[in-house]
Each structure stands twice: as C-alpha cells, then as structure tokens.
C-alpha cells in the first residue's frame, strides 16, 4: 500500500502551491467534529480515497488494477443463492438514509439506489449519476455468475472500478448481507419491476 | 354568532334532499350576508365546517350545493403536472365563466379534500393563485359558481420525491 | 404574536395584482414533532381582501394550504394609491393584518 | 391513462400528453418557476431587518454598526462582496461568520451563546437565517464580487477548490461525486457542476434561499453542513475555515453574476 501512495504522489497533477490531500485532511481534522454515528475516523482517507483524490479519479492503469484486486479481497460472499426478495429490495433502493449523523445508529439503512439509478419503470423520480438499470436482469439473465457480479458490485464497487463514485455499500457497513441479496433480487428476479 | 349566519355550515342540500342532481340551485350569497350582519368581517367570518371536514371531494361538494357540476373548459387550472414536493404545489385558477362569484379548490386524495373557497365581489376577478399541500398523486378539482350554476375542471398532479431522501 | 405579513399591489393593464405573504405554520394536526408528539391543528381559516374599506374577496381555507401561505388575487380597475387591506383569522382566533397602497 | 384523457377533453387538450421522461423534466422546471413566483423568502427579510436593529447581548446594542466590508453599518451591496478578508479578524469570512464575529465584538455575546442555534426550524427560524435573508436581499442587482486579491483570500480559494475534489467519508464522496459531471441529477434534482462558472453563477446568485420542502430559510453554511451530512462525513464546525474556503471557491467561480436572491429551492 505504501508503494502505491508513492507512485500516486508522482502522478499527482496538482501544482506545487496547491494544497495536497494531506493538507486538506489536516484542516478537516481541525475543523470537523464527530456527531452521532459519524466519527472523526471518517475524515481519514484510505488508500482508494487518497489515490482517487490525487489522480482526479484517473489513476494509472496498473495502480487501478492493484487497488481493485485489493478491494476485491474485501468482498464476503454468503453461501447459497444470492437472490433475495425483490420487494424488500425495492424499498431498500428507495430509502436514502443510513450512516448520517442524523440517522439512528443500528437502524436499517437504505441503499439510496434511486438517487443515482433508474430501476423500476414506475418510479419517475430517479437519478442519473449511475447508469440506468432498467431491464438489467432481462438482458443478462440471473445465473450464478451474474448474481455474483451484482452482489460484489453492490458490496464493493471499487473492486470493479477503483475510483467509481458508487459507495462501497457492504464494505462500509451500510447494508447487511441480507439487504444486498434483496437488491440482487430487485435487479435480477424476472418478477421484479426492474425487468418488466 | 358564527353558526347563525354561516350559510356554508348548513348545507342547503341537507334541507333539500331531493335537489336536482344535474345542476344545483342558487345559493345564498355568503359575502353579502357576512357584510350585512358583521361589520368586522374578518374577525367573525364564515367557515364551512362541514365542507372542510368532509373526507371525500363528493361530500365536500355537497356542502357547497355543487354535487353535479358541469365540466367546463372555461375553468382554467394552471398547475405543474409534476410537483417535486407535495408540501407546496402552486395552483393558479381563472374562471372565464361569465358571472363567476366563487371558486372552490379540492385535492381529491387529501384526507380533507376541500382546501379553499373564494368568494369574489365588488370588482374582484374570479382568479386566485395559492400553494396547496398535495399528499400523494391526485386530481385537483376546481369548481366555479356562476349565476347559481356550478362548473368544474380537473387536473392530475403527480407528486414525486426530490433530493437525496435522507 | 403572529409573524410578519408582506404584501404588494401593482396596477398594470387595468388590473391590480395583489400578492400577499403570511407567516403561519398551517399545522394539519397530523404532524409529529421531533419528540413524537402530535402537533395540534393550527391553521388560518379566513382571509379577507378589502379595497378602500370594501370587502372584495372572502376566502375560507383549510389546513391543506401550504405553510406560510401566499395568495395572489386580482382586482379589475383600481387606481394608484388605492388602499389594499388583507386580514386573516385562524382556528385559535389569532388574527393579523397588513395594508398597502396600489403602486 | 384513460382518466387523464378524459381531462384532456375538459382542458381543451392543453394537458393531453402523458408524461414521458423529457416532459417530466419540463414540468418540474415549471413547478420550480411557479413556486419561486410566490416565495415566502420575503417574510424572513422582514424578520431579519428587525433583528439587525434590535439591541441584544451584554452590551445591549444592535448589529447596525457591524462592518460587513463596506464600513460600519453599510448593508447595501455588502453581501455581494463576501466572502472576503477582514483585517480586524485576520481571516477570510463569509456572511454568517462575520455576523457571528459582530455578535461577539459589538454585542459582547459569547460564541457558545451566539452560535448555539445557528440552524433553525420551520417553527423557529434562527437569528442567523433571518439576518442572512435581510442582508443578502440588500445586494439585489449587484454583481457577485468576493475577495480574491489578499494572500489569505487566494489561499482560501485554493483550499476551497482542493476541498471540493477531496474524497473521504464512509461513502468515499467529494463534492464532485455529485456536482462533477454535466447533465446528471439526483432523483429529479439537476446537479450543477459548481466548479464551472456557467453552473456556479445561477447558484451563488440565489443563495441563501427559502426551501419549500421544509418551510425553512436556509443559508450557505447550512448547505455545506447538509452536504457533509449526506456525504456521510462528520460535522463541519460552523464558520470554520473549511466551510468558508468552500463558499469562497463556489462564489468566486460564479462571480460577476448579479445577485437576485434570496431564492426559492425545492
């Protein structure tokens, strides 16, 4: 990991006079305070965040690859089918709460999926930061390979694209294993509104 | 004092259960009664308790003697088809029906559909712009009264979720 | 004490446009406060518009009107300097009023 | 759909279209315009003016002598010049930070007391919110021109830009995660790309603003705070260098636009 930082420093496009991510982090450590479940540990960048900040989300290919491989190791797959209940998945996708200082610690969080993605055709209010997922399962089927990909992508999107804007919903502790399975169901179940 | 001079409190239809279902009959002029009997109109105004307490648009319209209004394109609703937030939905209403003396606004799906009734006199144009709460996707129903007859127009307003929802 | 009101009345093309803002919570009686207690029903019931002392619009409204109500009314004719008054009364008997001259 | 068609006949065909996505966007735009026409923001200006003139604190004086960068007591045009470096405090300050400063220096109020309730509620707006509405409104028509020449202003601008692109927190977000690419939106909300002048101009010229979804008047400090909440970060201190730097960066990016707020937001 240390070596990765050094390489990242060399490719950093920022001019010398500009504040570095370390400078920003130091200022934030002084200017922010813990509140509710949002502790000050969250201000400290991890390797992915640091490299992505330094490279403007465009790390060199080799570095991206090694970061992704590293992130892939974090994914914990449950045994058995990864397809949960799409109905519960839909309400998780609608819910935009979780991990904020205003959210009750321990209360079930949402995936905020509709904030960035189109899913069910019935929901007009969807975001476009991520790609549309309309008909996702219809186009790809719902075999074990696809299930594994979707589960992994939701669990840790950075394992597939180091500087993805998508949160690492499993890795960050936002969603439980069960909830991620329900979202897999929402995307892949032929009965899900996503695939109508 | 309030109940005695409140035409809206006592629906004329209650006294006339067999009133014509097609076009409702002439109504007492609320404003006039209020002015004559109450010098401080704003401080002791009429308020249609039954109408505002009604849980369906049909029941509310009954209290206005407007059970079967005639559809009219002269009642014009200017409102967005989609509202980003149901807490504030702007609705602009104009009645081009000659002789309009009042406009009632109802949101069908609200727990209490009737949100307002406006009586116009002395040169006020039959026009109002207001902000209403619309709890869920619903029809907006506007009923204008002119020369004792009632005219209606409706428009659907879809209520969506805006922002991060967190 | 009731919060502020603000009004403007402008004459243009032979029509006076009156826009009035009122400070009021317009509570539905169904909302819960942060402690989970129901906030009691509290809303304006009547809004009256007068021109030079004569009532021209009598409004009856419900809790279905948005918080901090805004109304626009129109009066045919009128002249600059006409006195426009708007008053309201709510279900607690609280009242407020404001006046302005047509500009 | 059948129902909708019925109403089409009634309304002379004006609303006959169903609602494909592109129309949905247009309708939302219309919704925003109609809401903005009747904004209660002005009610907060009235309240704010009264607060500006109200004697408060141990010194029992009003804020009327507060120097908002154009000299003691000059309100007209002051907001459009902020954030800016203030020599007496030796730091860059935005409007709210400056007001807090004046509450201390003029009114003799302790920071803990004055800053205890900077973000209000619909039921009880904060002093800071009403004051911001009043002071910002006195800059209507003036071009946004924050301070960018003093070394500390330059330093804050550079820091603000770095903060904008800095990824951290439980969800790995920077400001640019949402406000980073053109044509994107969250739910129905279009996302301005705030490091681009053409996007920043209409934004900085309409804050602070009344928010219809919560019936609250909201300030830029609140906006920064709320963004960090949604970014799953800890809470930034009110008026901290981080927030002021970010506000300076955004305002400077949108500079030159005539101020036309306080605005109305979703």
The pLDDT score that the predictor gives to residue D215 is 87
Q: How far is D26 from chain B (nearest CA, A)?
A: 9
Q: How far is A134 from chain D (nearest CA, A)?
A: 14
Nearest CA in chain B to D212: B88
Dump pLDDT digits (tens) for C55-98. 999 999 999 999 999 999 999 988 999 999 999 999 999 999 99
Residue B11's closest CA among B24, D196, B23, D179?
B24
Distance in angstroms (rounded) separating the CA atoms of residues D47 and D39 = 15
Whether residue B86 lies inside any domain: the answer is yes
pLDDT interval class at A170 (50, 70, 90) = very high
Please report where in the chains the tokens 């088809």 appear, as a residue. Answer: B81
Whether D8 sits among the annotated catalytic residues: the reply is no
Q: How far is D215 from chain C (nearest CA, A)?
A: 7
Domain at D202, CATH number = 1.10.760.10
Q: How far is D79 from chain A (nearest CA, A)?
A: 24
pLDDT interval class at A42 (50, 70, 90) = very high
Contact D189 B88 (CB under 8 A): no
On chain D, the residues whose CB falls within 8 A of the CB of C67 are 122, 215
The pLDDT score that the predictor gives to residue A186 is 98
Whether the Cβ atoms of residue D43 and residue C6 lie closer than 8 Å to each other: yes
The pLDDT score that the predictor gives to residue B15 is 36
Distance in angstroms (rounded) separating the CA atoms of residues B61 and D232 = 49
- % chain D with pLDDT above 90: 78
The pLDDT score that the predictor gives to residue D176 is 97
Contact B124 C49 (CB under 8 A): yes
- Nearest by CB to residue C70, choosing from D40, D47, D122, is D40
- Nearest by CB to residue D234, choosing from A19, A33, A158, is A33
D10 touches chain B (CB under 8 A): yes
Whether residue B165 lies inside any domain: the answer is no
Whether the Cβ atoms of residue D176 and residue D265 lie closer than 8 Å to each other: no
Give partners of C (≥3 CB pairs < 8 A): B, D
Range of weakest confidence among A46-50, B57-61, D29-33, D47-51: D29-33
Distance in angstroms (rounded) separating the CA atoms of residues D176 and C67 = 34
Number of domains forming the structure of chain D:
1
Tokens of D71: 């000299």
Nearest CA in chain C to D46: C4
Whether residue B164 lies inside any domain: the answer is no
Contact A114 D165 (CB under 8 A): no
3-state secondary structure of B33: helix
Domain at C92, CATH number = 2.60.40.10
pLDDT at A140 over 80: yes
On chain D, the residues whose CB falls within 8 A of the CB of A23 are 159, 162
Mean pLDDT over all residues of chain C? 94
Domain at B131, CATH number = 2.60.40.2470
Q: Which domains does chain A have, with CATH numbers?
A: 2-70 (no CATH), 86-195 (1.10.760.10)
On chain B, the residues whose CB falls within 8 A of the CB of D24 are 82
Mean pLDDT over all residues of chain B? 78
pLDDT tens for each residue of chain B, 166 residues long: 333 333 333 333 333 333 333 333 334 444 444 444 444 444 456 999 999 999 999 999 999 999 999 999 999 999 999 888 888 999 999 999 999 999 999 999 999 999 999 999 989 999 999 999 998 899 999 999 999 999 999 999 998 866 554 4
Chain B residues interacting with chain D (CB cutoff of 8 angstroms): 71-73, 76-85, 87-90, 92, 129, 131, 139, 153-156, 158, 160-166
How high is the ipTM of this complex? 0.77
Dump pLDDT digits (tens) for D126-184. 999 999 999 999 999 999 999 999 999 999 999 999 999 999 999 999 999 999 999 99
For CA atoms D213, D216, D218, D224, the dihedral sign is negative
Domain span at residue C34 reads 5-101
The pLDDT score that the predictor gives to residue D20 is 60
Whether residue D157 lies inside any domain: the answer is yes
Average pLDDT in the A21-44 region?
98
Residue B98 parent element (H or E): none
Whether residue B6 lies inside any domain: the answer is no
Whether residue D21 lies inside any domain: the answer is no
Dump pLDDT digits (tens) for A90-126. 999 999 999 999 999 999 999 999 999 999 999 988 9
- % chain D with pLDDT above 70: 92
pTM: 0.82
Number of domains forming the structure of chain C:
1
Domain span at residue D79 reads 37-265
Chains B and A touch (3+ CB pairs under 8 A): yes
Average pLDDT in the A54-64 region?
96
3-state secondary structure of A113: helix
Interface test with D, best of A15, A53, A111, A126 (most D CBs within 10 A): A53
Range of weakest confidence among A9-13, A138-142, A188-192: A9-13
- Nearest by CB to residue A97, choosing from B161, B162, B166, is B166
């Amino acid at each position: 990991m240390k070596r990765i930082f050094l390489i990242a420093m060399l490719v950093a496009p920022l001019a010398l006079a500009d504040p570095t991510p370390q400078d920003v982090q130091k200022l934030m450590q002084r200017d922010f305070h813990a509140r509710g479940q949002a502790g000050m540990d969250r201000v400290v960048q991890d390797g992915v965040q640091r490299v992505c900040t330094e490279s403007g989300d465009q790390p060199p290919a080799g570095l991206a690859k090694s970061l992704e491989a590293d992130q892939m190791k974090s994914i914990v797959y449950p045994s058995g089918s990864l397809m949960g209940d799409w109905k519960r998945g839909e309400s998780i996708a609608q819910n935009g709460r979780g991990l904020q200082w205003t959210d009750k610690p321990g209360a079930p969080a949402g995936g905020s999926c509709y904030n960035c993605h189109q899913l069910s055709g019935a929901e007009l209010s969807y975001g476009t930061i991520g790609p549309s997922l309309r008909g996702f399962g219809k186009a790809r089927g719902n075999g074990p390979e696809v299930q594994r990909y979707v589960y992994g992508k939701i669990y840790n999107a950075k394992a597939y694209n180091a500087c993805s804007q998508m949160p690492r919903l499993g890795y960050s502790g936002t969603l439980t294993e069960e909830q991620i399975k329900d979202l897999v169901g929402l995307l892949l179940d032929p009965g899900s509104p996503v695939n109508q | 004092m309030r109940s005695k001079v409140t035409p809206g409190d006592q629906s004329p239809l209650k006294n006339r259960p067999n009133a014509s279902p097609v076009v409702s009959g002439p109504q007492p002029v609320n404003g006039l009664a209020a002015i004559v009997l109450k010098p401080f109109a704003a401080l002791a105004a009429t308020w249609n308790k039954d109408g505002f307490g009604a849980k369906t648009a049909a029941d509310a319209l009954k209290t206005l003697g407007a059970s079967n209004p005639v559809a009219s394109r002269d009642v014009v609703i200017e409102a967005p088809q989609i509202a980003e937030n149901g807490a504030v939905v702007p609705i602009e209403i104009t009645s081009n029906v000659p002789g309009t003396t009042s406009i009632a606004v109802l949101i069908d799906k609200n727990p209490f559909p009737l949100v307002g009734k406006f009586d116009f006199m002395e040169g006020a144009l039959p026009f109002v712009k207001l902000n209403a709460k619309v709890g869920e996707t619903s029809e907006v129903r506007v009923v204008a009264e002119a020369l004792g007859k009632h005219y209606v127009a409706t428009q659907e307003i879809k209520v969506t979720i805006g922002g991060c929802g967190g | 004490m009731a919060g502020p009101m603000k009004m403007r009345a402008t004459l243009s093309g032979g029509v006076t446009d009156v826009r009035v803002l009122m400070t009021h919570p317009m509570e539905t009686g169904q909302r819960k406060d942060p402690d989970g207690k129901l906030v009691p029903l509290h809303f304006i019931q009547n809004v009256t518009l007068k021109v030079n002392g004569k009532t021209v619009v009598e409004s009856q409204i419900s809790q279905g009107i948005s918080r901090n109500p805004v109304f626009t009314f129109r009066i045919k004719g009128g002249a600059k300097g006409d006195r426009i008054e708007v008053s309201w009364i709510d279900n607690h008997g609280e009242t407020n009023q404001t006046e302005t001259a047509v500009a | 759909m059948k129902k909708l068609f019925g109403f089409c006949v009634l309304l002379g065909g004006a609303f006959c279209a169903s609602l494909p996505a592109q129309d949905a966007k247009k309708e939302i735009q219309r919704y925003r315009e109609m809401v903005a026409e009747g904004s209660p923001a002005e009610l907060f200006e009235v309240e704010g003016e009264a607060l500006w003139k109200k004697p408060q604190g141990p010194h029992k004086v009003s804020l009327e002598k507060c120097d908002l960068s154009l000299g003691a007591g000059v309100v007209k045009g002051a907001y459009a010049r902020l954030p800016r470096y203030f020599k007496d405090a030796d730091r860059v300050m935005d409007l709210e930070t400056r007001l807090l400063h004046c509450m201390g220096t003029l009114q003799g109020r302790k920071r803990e007391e004055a800053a205890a309730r900077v973000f209000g509620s619909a039921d009880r707006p904060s002093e800071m919110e009403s004051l911001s509405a009043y002071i910002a409104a006195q800059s209507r028509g003036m071009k946004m021109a924050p301070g960018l020449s003093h070394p500390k202003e330059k330093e804050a601008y550079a820091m603000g830009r770095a903060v904008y692109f800095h990824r951290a927190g439980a969800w790995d977000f920077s400001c640019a995660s949402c406000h980073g690419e053109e044509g994107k939106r969250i739910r129905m909300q279009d996302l301005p790309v705030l490091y681009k002048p053409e996007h920043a101009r209409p934004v900085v010229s309409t804050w602070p603003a009344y928010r219809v979804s919560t019936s609250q008047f909201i300030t830029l400090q609140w906006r920064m705070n709320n963004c960090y909440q949604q970014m799953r970060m800890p809470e930034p201190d009110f008026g901290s260098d981080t927030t002021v730097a970010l506000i300076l960066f955004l305002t400077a990016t949108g500079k030159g636009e005539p101020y036309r707020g306080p605005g109305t937001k979703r």
